[in-house]
Amino acid sequence: DSGVTQTPKHLITATGQRVTLRCSPRSGDLSVYWYQQSLDQGLQFLIQYYNGEERAKGNILERFSAQQFPDLHSELNLSSLELGDSALYFCASSVEPGGLETQYFGPGTRLLVL
Amino acid sequence: DAKTTQPTSMDCAEGRAANLPCNHSTISGNEYVYWYRQIHSQGPQYIIHGLKNNETNEMASLIITEDRKSSTLILPHATLRDTAVYYCIQTHAGGTSYGKLTFGQGTILTVHP
């Protein structure tokens, strides 16, 4: 158990819908990262927040957005869903940006778009 | 894009050492080598990292060549639970990358009884 929690564990929805994935970082961690893992693209970095502010962006689609709240939990919003958005979405946390050795991953949310 | 190259798959007998190679010929002076592993769709798990010296922790050892262009992750006594995909990542610790990890395809390590 990494200490990072993600909800829900599984999500099934239809194309065109919108979903919200939630992540609670480890206690004391200020930085949250989101990653997407699909069969054809592998594990890809989406976006990072530190203490409520966006710090880095990766291959995140415009249909996707995220935020980190004052209590440090983060939400990843996926809208206008397409079949290709079906993937595992991981959240990771670390104490501070660049704390690579202390980047702990949650168990992931498996999204299936039908 | 991932900057490291790793074999697609490797096998190892239980109880033997597993030696996973990684090439990072473009590594710069301030980039580290990190190893993570992912056990069957679980979240990736940090294993070890190093800059230029060999490193050891409770999970593994990391041997980095003197020219830093390649490294080997060593699991000294592999168990069935070590069956996973192992990712070698070269990246800056901090700075403008702010800690994002760029994963390649990794090496699928299968530990046999």
Q: Do B99 and A33 touch (CB under 8 A)?
A: yes
What is the phi/psi pair of residue A100, to 5°? -60, -40
Q: Each residue of B26-64: pLDDT tens digit?
A: 888 888 899 999 998 899 999 999 989 899 999 999 999
Q: Which among B45, B49, B95 has CB closest to A105?
A: B45
Place of tokens 């070698």: B88
Task: Name the 3-class secondary structure at A102.
Answer: helix
Minimal Cα–Cα distance from A12 to chain B, Å?
A: 17
Q: Each residue of A27-52: pLDDT tens digit?
A: 989 999 999 999 888 889 999 999 99
**pLDDT bucket at A101, cuts 50 / 70 / 90:** low
Q: Do B100 and A45 touch (CB under 8 A)?
A: yes
Q: Do B99 and A104 touch (CB under 8 A)?
A: no
- A39 and chain B: CB distance < 8 Å anywhere? no
CA–CA distance, A19 with A78 (Å, rounded to integer): 5
Task: Examine residue A8 and say whether the peptide bond preceding it is cis (omega within 30 degrees of 0).
Answer: yes
Please give the pLDDT value at position A98.
61
Please give the pLDDT value at position A55.
87
Token pair of A61, please? 């689609």
Evaluate if residue A93 carries a pLDDT over 90: yes
